[in-house]
Structure 1
Amino acid sequence: MSNTILDIAKMAGVAKSTVSRYLNGGSVSEATKRKIEQVINETGYIPNTFAQSLKAKKPNIIGTIIPRLDSFATSQTLIGIDEHLKELNFQMLIANTSQDVTREIENIYSLKRQKVAGIILLAAQVTPAHLEAFQEVQLPVFLVGQQYEGVYSVIHNDEEAAYELGKHVLEMGHRKIAFLGVTETDIAVGVKRKEGFRRAIGEREDCEVRYYETSFKMEDAQVEAMRIMQEFRPSIIVCATDNIALGVMKAAYVNGLRIPTDLSITGFGGYDITEVIHPSLSTVKFYYKDAGRLAAQNIVKLIHGEQVPFVTISPHTFIQRESVDNKIGYLI
């Protein structure tokens, strides 16, 4: 049976309130502090930091709302948030929405009732209902991955990254191109990446480009890719995420196409798996863990009343690998 605060107080020969004050960072004499620390070390006592936060005048729990659990981007962002919050003596409480916007709004209010100090939201979109909730809960709110005027956020430079990728596709000689994106309700992935790519392609007049949509799921991307290959037969499919690219790769193998000779493929994200598969995937690498650390750093600053920029941009890198064929020789 685990020890309680009362057990620690009895073993240290002090009042329960003294132990509680010590655990919450209150004023305790050096002699008393040493006695409590000795008992805690001997017993291996682990305080209930969530309960402490609920009782404390200044809670140290950060509510983090995520759209899905089975996502490389989400997991890496959470690692970054958690690591930095621990360094700042804060804890993270995670609420998953399974990509349900209604649950996302409900969780904002729920976290307020649980007395969190602030909220980090990995949002796919920001609706009027989100803005209303932000106003009503009166807590510091920080977005990751999406930008909205008047709301603090850290974003990936999706449009510029897509522009760079589009320029690479053209430099490799591709002129018959399919772009496989997602719904435009997701501004970062569905709009900004398509806009950046379209801007790059618009700098040439000899391209045939078609734009398609799918979900974030590999199996849905595979189905849509099969249709694209049958009706359009592009030399390259540019995918809005690495997950989509993996689904397209599966469709290519099912159709007996060789990558990149018969079909080139690119992605966005820089997931670990894209480096070890064969052929390895050319992709834009986003530094999700660093973005998570930035979010943690800035939400704590907001809680302490410090100023932070409304928008912080996380860097990216284009990684050229094996999945894009060089068609320049065929154009000469």
Structure 2
Amino acid sequence: MTIGEIAKLAGVAKSTVSRYLNGGSVGVATRLKLERVIKETGYVPNTFARSLKAKKTNIIGTIVPRLNSYAATQTLIGIDEELREQGYQLLISNTSQNLDREIESIYSLENQKIAGIILLATQITDEHLDAFQKVDVPVLLVGQQHEQCYSLIHDDETAGYEIGKYVLSQGHRKIAFVGVTENDIAVGVKRKRGFQKAIQEEKECEVTYFETSFNLKEAIKKFPSIMEAYKPSIFVCATDNIALGILKAAQMEGLNVPRDLSITGFGGYEVTEVIHPGITTAKFFYQEAGELAAKKIVKLVNGEEVAKVTVSNFDIILRNSVDSLI
């Protein structure tokens, strides 16, 4: 079914149908006829095609580093649900953790006349900032913060501090912290920085820091050498994915968690609750953050004033993966 066919059935001009579909003014009798025909035919407008012709679109482009991420998928669910509530459509661009593709996606989305861009960022480079200045649409960062950009962030540093305080309160003084590259400011820097603040408040504590990737298998590979060389009582992992890898590796070595080794994570992935033992973690509310991001980008699109930085909440979820040494 096309606009022309709808126009013929309703006995009006194609331009009238187009004006009606784009929220323009039409007479009451004409609007009722169009509503009846659209309902009877089950016509669904081609939002993307309409937006290409419109001066102002209702499509929000969202760029994600990878789709096989719990955090990304939950955030996307929140974005999509809230955008639908506000009459906007979501267009997703996946970059597979390739920064060149991320930059390309920013320009590509603008060429498709989207209304705004949400970037689930892992890092912000000069190329990113240059692209943000060149595209003629508002951009919102989710997960990372930069002084030149509107951002929605998780409270990574405070979460790191709270995890550190909890680990110390359970009597752990020989700790392995397994993080990620410091190119990722939120996960690689802020979570570790918050943890270090807690550690600095304890006089007698031995912490060794390690770096891995977000890949669970990499954490499994790193575990034997760390365990053999340092024999920590606990692994504090910068993500739940790393924590899951450490848990798997420990069980492969015949260790009992938490009796022989304790583990904590960050994220609050659903799987950390259903496995045995459940993993103690800093839970971030990704879906709610996605909803906040959608509300914020719509306000930016409409020229409304919003806070430069919005901070999402977290909870420390205590489960069975941490043994008390007190």
TM-score, normalised via structure 2 length: 0.99
- Residue 107 of structure 2: aligned partner: 109
Distance in 1 between residues matched to 2:250 and 2:4, nearest whole Å: 64
Cα deviations across residues 247-291 of structure 1 (Å, max 9, x unaligned)? Answer: 111100110000000010000000111111110010001001111
- Residue 325 of structure 1: aligned partner: 323
Partner SS for 2:43: coil
Distance in 2 between residues matched to 1:99 and 1:210, nearest whole Å: 28
Distance in 2 between residues matched to 1:230 and 1:47, nearest whole Å: 62
Partner SS for 1:76: helix
Shift of the alpha carbon at 1:15? 1.3
2:134 maps to 1:136: yes
Partner SS for 2:56: coil
Moved over 3 A (4+): none
**Unaligned regions of 5+ residues in structure 2, if any?**
none
Cα deviations across residues 5-45 of structure 1 (Å, max 9, x unaligned)? Answer: 11111111111111111111011111111111111111111
Distance in 1 between residues matched to 2:225 and 2:83, nearest whole Å: 45
Partner SS for 2:171: coil
1:279 is aligned, of 262, 277, 280, to 277
Distance in 2 between residues matched to 1:230 and 1:269, nearest whole Å: 27
1:196 is aligned, of 194, 198, 206, to 194
Distance in 2 between residues matched to 1:38 and 1:224, nearest whole Å: 64
Shift of the alpha carbon at 1:87? 1.0
Distance in 2 between residues matched to 1:43 and 1:232, nearest whole Å: 70
Partner SS for 2:15: helix
**Unaligned regions of 5+ residues in structure 1, if any?**
none
- Residue 65 of structure 2: aligned partner: 67
Shift of the alpha carbon at 1:150? 2.0
- Residue 43 of structure 1: aligned partner: 41
Equivalence map 1:74-113=2 (5 Å) = 74-113=72-111
Equivalence map 1:159-174=2 (5 Å) = 159-174=157-172
TM-score, normalised via structure 1 length: 0.97
Partner SS for 1:58: coil
Distance in 1 between residues matched to 2:6 and 2:90, nearest whole Å: 26
Instruction: In structure 1, give the amino acid aligned to 2:18.
Output: S
2:31 maps to 1:19: no
1:57 is aligned, of 55, 58, 65, to 55
- Residue 231 of structure 1: aligned partner: 229
Shift of the alpha carbon at 1:226? 2.3
Instruction: In structure 2, give the amino acid aligned to 1:211.
Output: Y
- Residue 269 of structure 1: aligned partner: 267
1:30 is aligned, of 28, 31, 34, to 28
Distance in 1 between residues matched to 2:313 and 2:32, nearest whole Å: 45
Instruction: In structure 2, give the amino acid aligned to 1:243.
Output: N
Partner SS for 1:69: coil
Distance in 1 between residues matched to 2:38 and 2:230, nearest whole Å: 68
Distance in 1 between residues matched to 2:244 and 2:91, nearest whole Å: 31
Instruction: In structure 1, give the amino acid aligned to 2:52.
Output: L
- Residue 287 of structure 2: aligned partner: 289
Distance in 1 between residues matched to 2:32 and 2:179, nearest whole Å: 59
Identity rate, percent: 65
Shift of the alpha carbon at 1:113? 0.6
Distance in 1 between residues matched to 2:81 and 2:94, nearest whole Å: 19
Distance in 2 between residues matched to 1:201 and 1:298, nearest whole Å: 36
Distance in 1 between residues matched to 2:83 and 2:30, nearest whole Å: 28
1:240 is aligned, of 238, 241, 246, to 238
Instruction: In structure 2, give the amino acid aligned to 1:50.
Output: F
2:153 is aligned, of 152, 155, 162, to 155
